[in-house]
Amino acid sequence: MTNLKRPTIKEVAIQSGVSVQTVSRVINNRPDVAPDTRLKVQEVIQVLGYQPNALARSLIQQRTNTLGVVTNNLNFIGVSRTLNGITHMAEELGYALQLKSFHAFKPEEVAEVLNDLLSHQVEGIVWAMPEIGNNRLWLDQECPDLPVPMVFLTMQVRPCLPVINFDNLAGGRMAVNHLLQQGYRHIAHISGPLDWWESRQRKLGWETALQENGMMVNDSHWAEGDWSASCGAAVYQHLKESYAQMDAVFVANDQMALGVLQAARNSGIDIPGSLGLVGFDGLPESAFSVPPLTTVFQDQSALGSLAVTQLHEMIETQRSGRLKPFTEPVWLNPELIIRHSSQKPQAVYLGSGIPQTANHK
Amino acid sequence: MTNLKRPTIKEVAIQSGVSVQTVSRVINNRPDVAPDTRLKVQEVIQVLGYQPNALARSLIQQRTNTLGVVTNNLNFIGVSRTLNGITHMAEELGYALQLKSFHAFKPEEVAEVLNDLLSHQVEGIVWAMPEIGNNRLWLDQECPDLPVPMVFLTMQVRPCLPVINFDNLAGGRMAVNHLLQQGYRHIAHISGPLDWWESRQRKLGWETALQENGMMVNDSHWAEGDWSASCGAAVYQHLKESYAQMDAVFVANDQMALGVLQAARNSGIDIPGSLGLVGFDGLPESAFSVPPLTTVFQDQSALGSLAVTQLHEMIETQRSGRLKPFTEPVWLNPELIIRHSSQKPQAVYLGSGIPQTANHK
DNA sequence: CTGAAAGCGCTTACAG
DNA sequence: CTGAAAGCGCTTACAG
């Protein structure tokens, strides 16, 4: 079923009655080949189905046109959207992609993963594994020596290291400010696992927004989840006890928010009437929950594309000798998508007060 | 920031005062090296941070330990779950992974993708791109010659080709039978795009189950969607017109089913009271819709793992000379997850009739 | 136990 | 315009 032998340049040369150098010239579209010779060689290539061996070529040229990609477990939905952007841009720029993914992160595996990629002579690496726990310990030096250009996604900024992040803090702040504008006054938070850098940033966004509006941040007003919907539901039940006045929740991802949505409905709590809800991520599904979920969207596909673009530039810069010392961190802005879950119905007009916005001017 | 030169075996040899062959022996843990020599060489390797060049090694050994993976656009959630299984098993079996993904499928790109992978001397390929339209035209020969062992996922079975599928027809049948058992009698179907093989199979499952139960299959009882939630909602509205008696829908994927769910609720239609609903895929989110969605779960991660396992066996078999001609198609069974969206409330006891199951025996 | 020779499949100067 | 020579970084026999 499979014919094992792939023809080599030597066989093409023999069949064409020329030397391997001449075949090489034809393959690489060099001008200095006699038209007849070129035709003959091309014909033989066609007949034999010859394809140059990329390994041999890379070995002699000292260039693989290959990028390494390191990701988290691909069951996490975000990662695969990033990977999508990476594959697109890599294709466009002519890079092959070697993929390594951590299943469960173990610090001792970092060297292994890195060495594996390097032994394959990748020209650069996109480190798309998010910062969790101490999985950046290996980078915590003043200015770490990297064996090839690398771009890091989703981690705390470190000296001399090119990182690209969504501004999670700004995202959290946006979410909470929106809820405040809508008139919610007791805004709880369900965070992701706090060993994730992203979780901490989103939580910080929540705190910042509250403080900027002169509100207290209280430890009974938030709780930690594990990103899963079921956990979101459970944590919400807990918050109802610890924070009785709660009238809104900013949840650190959409999946947990969907859990909250379900739990709230099961308790007969009206969203957005009695509880405002904002998630984070912008999953397509979130638009189709009941009610549709307001969320902080991050375009992770764009993140992936940008990472490859930047890596490409770094590689080219380095190759050309102009060694730009290091690239500044890049911050991407997430985007608030306002849907029904956070649209507080207008307060009933009581007559006893005057609407604030109506009488001035 | 990046130190360009990686040391070679030659440098290690010079520093150690031995020949490159001896270094090679040490690297590969050969027994025939004097203990002192080995120690000395290991020390130098350590100091220089030497790593053998996988390219050179592969070239001489004629073995890359690399698998190619071809996927659909990774924004489709299913693909990334499959990819997750693939990376796990590849890691476990010691294969590196080269990833190619189609963004928009173009027939003329098949050769390109294939050649690209082959020029990198991959030892096998997992074709995880599903069968859509005529994207299997290149395989439609009596017994196609494949340049390396390949495993095909999610396509119509073809002679001499190893394919691994979920039994989508059985899945559709299961879904509809379940709805029938629940007492629904007018079961509509929203299919995926019919140029997808999976869509056609699921639809066939729906038809089969209806016919097996002596019910008519009518063209006004189904309509085609595009996998998206918004389309699911739109198609449902359409079916309400064309199939007024409809009391249940089997939807070809969860995302569209979520769209139906939302549209139905917005029209004040009770699920599962007035409309039974079953999806397909088993997205984690589906458990957290309101009401939770009954769905046909396919463990795509397992599919990916199995593909790599099987590919590995094919490669080993071929290498060892025992050439097993080809592997039989494998069918995996999807699994019905029953949740609230399909649990028809017991019919009200009217008194005028006798409950069918209560009086016999 | 160790090294000289040959070669994997290419490309890069260098002659002619 | 074309070919002989050298070499990319390794490993595999083959001597000793």
Write the secondary structure of chain B as one string of H (helix), E (strand) and C (coil). Answer: CCCCCCCCHHHHHHHHCCCHHHHHHHHCCCCCCCHHHHHHHHHHHHHHCCCCCHHHHHHHHCCCCEEEEEECCCCCHHHHHHHHHHHHHHHHHCCEEEEEECCCCCCCHHHHHHHHHHHCCCCEEEECCCCECCCCHHHCCCCCCECCCEEEECCCCCCCCCEEEECHHHHHHHHHHHHHHCCCCCEEEEECCCCEHHHHHHHHHHHHHHHHCCCCCCHHHEEECCCCHHHHHHHHHHHHHHCCCCCEEEECCHHHHHHHHHHHHHCCCCCCCCCEEEEEECCHHHHHCCCCCEEEECCHHHHHHHHHHHHHHHHHHHHCCCCCCCCCCEEECCEEECCHHHCCCCCCCCCCCCCCCCCCC
**CA nearest to B262, candidates B296, B230, B215:** B230
User: Do B80 and A59 make contact, defined as CB atoms within 8 angstroms?
Assistant: no
CA of B55 to C1' of C2 (A): 26
Q: Average of pLDDT values for A146-156?
A: 95
In the block, residue with structure tokens 């990774």 = B74
Say yes or no: Cβ of A119 under 7 A from any atom of strand D: no
Contacts of A58 in chain B (CB under 8 A): 55
CA of B325 to C1' of D3 (A): 44
Angle B106-B109-B111 (CA atoms, 0-180°, nearest 5)? 140
**Chain D footprint bases within 7 A of protein beta carbons:** 1-5, 7-13
Beta carbons of B123 and B63 less than 8 angstroms apart: yes
Say yes or no: Cβ of B20 under 7 A from any atom of strand D: yes
Q: Average of pLDDT values for B143-166?
A: 93
Question: What's residue B143's pLDDT?
Answer: 85
- Confidence check: pLDDT of A168 > 50: yes
Min Cα distance A316 → chain B (Å) is: 13
- Confidence check: pLDDT of A21 > 70: yes
Quickly state the pLDDT bin for B347 (edges 50, 70, 90).
Answer: low
Say yes or no: Cβ of A141 under 7 A from any atom of strand C: no
Name the residue of chain A whose CA is nearest to B66's CA.
A98
Beta carbons of A116 and A100 less than 8 angstroms apart: yes
Percent of chain B with pLDDT over 90: 80
Min Cα distance A294 → chain B (Å) is: 15
Question: What's residue B360's pLDDT?
Answer: 35
Of the candidate ranges A62-71, A274-283, B73-82, B179-188, the one whose mean pLDDT is the lowest = B73-82
Say yes or no: Cβ of B48 under 7 A from any atom of strand D: no
Quickly state the pLDDT bin for B171 (edges 50, 70, 90).
Answer: very high
Name the residue of chain A whose CA is nearest to B90's CA.
A100
Beta carbons of B201 and B252 less than 8 angstroms apart: no
Q: Average of pLDDT values for A252-270?
A: 96
Say yes or no: Cβ of B156 under 7 A from any atom of strand C: no
- A96: amino acid identity, one letter: A
- Confidence check: pLDDT of B118 > 50: yes
Q: Taking CB atoms and an 8 Å cut-off, how many pairs form between chains A and B?
A: 185
Q: Which of residues 40-99 of A touch strand D (CB under 7 A)?
A: 56, 59-60, 62
Indicate the burial class of A135 (C-beta count within 10 angstroms; 0-12, 13-18, 19 or more): buried
Query: Average pLDDT, whole number, for chain B?
Result: 91
**CA nearest to B254, candidates B182, B197, B333, B334:** B334
**CA nearest to A166, candidates A315, A303, A54, A71:** A303
Say yes or no: Cβ of A52 under 7 A from any atom of strand C: yes
Of the candidate ranges A56-60, A176-180, B58-62, B145-149, the one whose mean pLDDT is the lowest = B145-149
Percent of chain B with pLDDT over 70: 94
Name the residue of chain B whose CA is nearest to A75's CA.
B81
CA distance to A79, A134, A191, A270, per residue, from A196 (Å): 14, 10, 10, 31
Q: Average of pLDDT values for B138-148?
A: 88
Pairing of strands B294-297, B248-251: unpaired
Of the candidate ranges A147-151, B28-32, B275-279, B337-341, the one whose mean pLDDT is the lowest = B28-32
CA of B90 to C1' of D4 (A): 44
Question: What's residue A352's pLDDT?
Answer: 42
- Confidence check: pLDDT of A76 > 90: no
- Confidence check: pLDDT of A154 > 90: yes
Question: What's residue A361's pLDDT?
Answer: 32
Contacts of B258 in chain A (CB under 8 A): 285, 288-289
Quickly state the pLDDT bin for B324 (edges 50, 70, 90).
Answer: low
Quickly state the pLDDT bin for B353 (edges 50, 70, 90).
Answer: very low
- Confidence check: pLDDT of A357 > 60: no
B12 closest-nt by C1' vs CA: D9
Say yes or no: Cβ of A287 under 7 A from any atom of strand D: no
